[in-house]
Amino acid sequence: MSKSLRLSEKWFRRGLWLVALVFAGFLIGLGGTIVGDLPKVETPLRVDDFLDKPMAQALRGQVRDARQAEQDAQTALEQAQLQRSKARSESQAERETFNNWLATRSVTQRADQDPEVIARTQALDALKLVERKTQQAVEQQQQAALDARQGAAAAQERLSKLEADGYERLAAERRKVELRVFLYRLALTLPLLAIAGWLFVKKRKGTYWPFVWGFIFFALFAFFVELVPYLPSYGGYVRYVVGIGVTAVVGRYAIQALNRYLERQKQAESLPDQERRNELSYDVALARLAKSVCPGCERPVDLKNEKIDFCPHCGIGLFDHCGACTTRKSAFAKFCHSCGTGAHAKPASTPAATSA
């Protein structure tokens, strides 16, 4: 049909299609913002909302205190180990000195050195006592760290069990929220789809068809594209069921339209030739002729064959002769392409008829 349109009309139509796409783009942007903000109508959920809060706070306090006690015990243990190492070094050094002194005394066998032996032995015993005390301090801190670690682990285990139950209830509630938000979105997009279907049936060829098509594009995009990321695990069934329903409705409409078209064609082919041509739109007739099909029945016709003036399928006139210059022309042309005479001009009078 575009071949039969005027050049300006073609560009106007292209501009209007651009208007339809831009309009659809703004609607899609607005719809996407609304669909994306729909979850904000629900209160954000946290696991603490599904726990026994006093018990959870008590267990978390126990874990925190046990971790702090373990840290303090570890710090004290490091200090005790350092003191034990120092005591062991002093005791070892004193033992070596004492052993060397005993070796010297055994050589000299001097009796006046016996009191010094006793003093050195007592000093060594004192160092050993200090070493044992530092070892006991290390063991005490190790026990304290172990007790704190075990207490933290036990409290953490109880807290984990409590939180696991809370997470299960949180997941169940989130599934409910997800379903509600999906239903909100579905309640928003289904009416848009229904309105788009009504506009397609009733208004797609009206004066404001660019806005109609823009809204149709927006509704289809909103339902079949924007709704997809928010579908729950079973939400795909909704999309497919609605898609099947829309396809069935559109298919039924197309079948009924085809039957109505065939019925109209049958009735039109029974009308007189001139009446049939008058009922055909000029642009539609030219568009069909440009495709080498009959404007009346839309069946293929060899229009290049100059011997064919009527459709061999339905009998409608395709070519006639100009009333002024008798040039063969399209029966649907409004003016003769040879002399420019109007298509409905009466044949010129012959000289004989004039003299009579």
- Looking at per-residue confidence, does 37 or 337 come out higher? 337
Alpha carbons 10 and 16: distance in angstroms, whole number: 10
Angle between helix 114-202 and helix 235-269 axes, rounded to 10 deg: 20
Residue 279 has pLDDT above 80, yes or no: no
In sequence order, which residues have a C-beta less than 8 Å from that of residue 70 and are 6 or more positions away?
145, 148, 149, 152
Confidence of residue 39 (pLDDT cuts 50, 70, 90): low
Indicate the range of 163-177, 253-267, 271-285, 337-351 predicted with least confidence: 337-351
Output the six-digit token pair for 281: 């739109």
278: number of CA atoms within 13 Å, CB side? 6
Q: What is the pLDDT of residue 350?
A: 40
* Closest CA relative to residue 94, chosen from 67, 130, 49, 141: 130
Burial degree of 244 (CB within 10 A; 0-12, 13-18, 19+):
exposed
Alpha carbons 173 and 185: distance in angstroms, whole number: 18
Q: What is the pLDDT of residue 114?
A: 61
Share of the chain above pLDDT 90, in %: 0
Output the six-digit token pair for 117: 């032996």
Q: What is the pLDDT of residues 230-267, one digit of tens each?
A: 565 555 666 677 778 878 887 888 888 878 877 877 77
| CB distance 213 to 161 below 8 Å | no
Q: How many helices (H) and strands (E) does the chain have?
A: 8, 2
Q: What is the pLDDT of residue 326?
A: 84
Residue 348 has pLDDT above 60, yes or no: no
| CB distance 219 to 189 below 8 Å | yes
Q: What is the pLDDT of residue 102?
A: 63
Alpha carbons 93 and 89: distance in angstroms, whole number: 6
For residue 81, count other CB atoms closer than 10 A to its CB. Answer: 16
Residues 308-318, mean pLDDT to the nearest whole number: 84
Alpha carbons 346 and 356: distance in angstroms, whole number: 19
Q: What is the pLDDT of residue 353?
A: 37
β-bridge mates for residue 317, sequence order: 310
Output the six-digit token pair for 202: 């009733």
- Looking at per-residue confidence, does 76 or 238 come out higher? 76
The DSSP 8-state label assigned to residue 329 in this structure reads E
Place of tokens 């106007």: 12
What are the distances in angstroms from CA 192 to CA 28, 163, 215? 12, 43, 9
Residues 183-207, mean pLDDT to the nearest whole number: 82
Tell me the three state secondary structure of residue 302: coil
- Looking at per-residue confidence, does 284 or 41 come out higher? 284
| CB distance 296 to 311 below 8 Å | yes
Residue 192 has pLDDT above 70, yes or no: yes
pTM over 0.85: no
Q: What is the pLDDT of residues 103-144, one digit of tens each?
A: 655 544 555 556 766 676 777 777 777 778 888 888 887 888
Tell me the three state secondary structure of residue 324: coil
Alpha carbons 242 and 192: distance in angstroms, whole number: 13
Output the six-digit token pair for 15: 């501009």
Q: What is the pLDDT of residue 356?
A: 35
| CB distance 285 to 3 below 8 Å | no
Q: What is the pLDDT of residue 156?
A: 81
Residues 14-40, mean pLDDT to the nearest whole number: 79
179: number of CA atoms within 13 Å, CB side? 7
